[in-house]
Amino acid sequence: DAKTTQPTSMDCAEGRAANLPCNHSTISGNEYVYWYRQIHSQGPQYIIHGLKNNETNEMASLIITEDRKSSTLILPHATLRDTAVYYCIVPGTYKYIFGTGTRLKVLA
Amino acid sequence: NAGVTQTPKFQVLKTGQSMTLQCAQDMNHEYMSWYRQDPGMGLRLIHYSVGAGITDQGEVPNGYNVSRSTTEDFPLRLLSAAPSQTSVYFCASRLGGGNYGYTFGSGTRLTVV
């Protein structure tokens, strides 16, 4: 399973874009990148996933580099409710292994 | 759909007691997993299942048993509770056979004294 590396914490001003990076240099050609977030002590929430093309949904955008060794989750207009821990995951066939994620704090 | 339902939400056990954490989903998801999350830490995979009758170990399986007799249910059994098993336990499920996100339950907060 490919391992991921994320910064421990980040701050973002409310209303600005939050860009959360993730390195996954050992990703293989058919492995997807998934992003989840966990608000306070709730269960994690799926955000988005992608293989090699950029993806966008109602929550966020995912930009994957051409060599697929890193990706960036973009929250276009962060709100206070986006304060959470964000996890980048490259799962194996069946196993989802969560790392420690990035703690994003959105500042008023 | 109720999604992923975990019961109980809170539980206090004495050391050595056994109990079963329940997890049920009504989305006809093939894949189900159990995670634990210790205070201030990330989630760690305990056991997972890719279908009824099929289970496998995750990162931290010791002290836990699982079975999957139906698609809907995936109970987690603590055999002899220890204080080190004090944690929040999350169950999750997703469709199989493709690339889908997991849906998580709201968790069971377990304290072993």
What pLDDT is attached to residue A100? 86
The pLDDT of residue A2 is 62
Q: Which of B42, B90, B107 sits opposite A101 (nearest CB)?
A: B42
For the record, the structure tokens of A98 come out as 């969560």
* Residues in B touching A100 (Cβ below 8 Å): 41-42
pLDDT of residue A1: 59
CB B45 within 8 A of CB B35: yes
Q: Are A62 and A46 in contact (CB under 8 A)?
A: no
A41 pLDDT exceeds 90?
no
Residues from chain B contacting residue A59 (CB–CB below 8 Å): none
Mean pLDDT (10-residue bins), chain B, 113 residues: 93 97 96 93 93 94 97 97 97 88 96 97
Say what the pLDDT of residue A97 is. Answer: 84
Q: What is the pLDDT of residue A12?
A: 97
pLDDT attached to residue B109: 97
Average pLDDT for chain A: 93
DSSP B101: P
Q: Which residue has the tokens 């701050």?
A: A11
| Contact check, Cβ <8 Å, B48/A44 | no
Structure tokens at B56: 């496998």
Cβ–Cβ below 8 Å for B45 and A42: no
Q: With contact defined as beta carbons under 8 Å apart, do A85 and A106 qualify? A: no
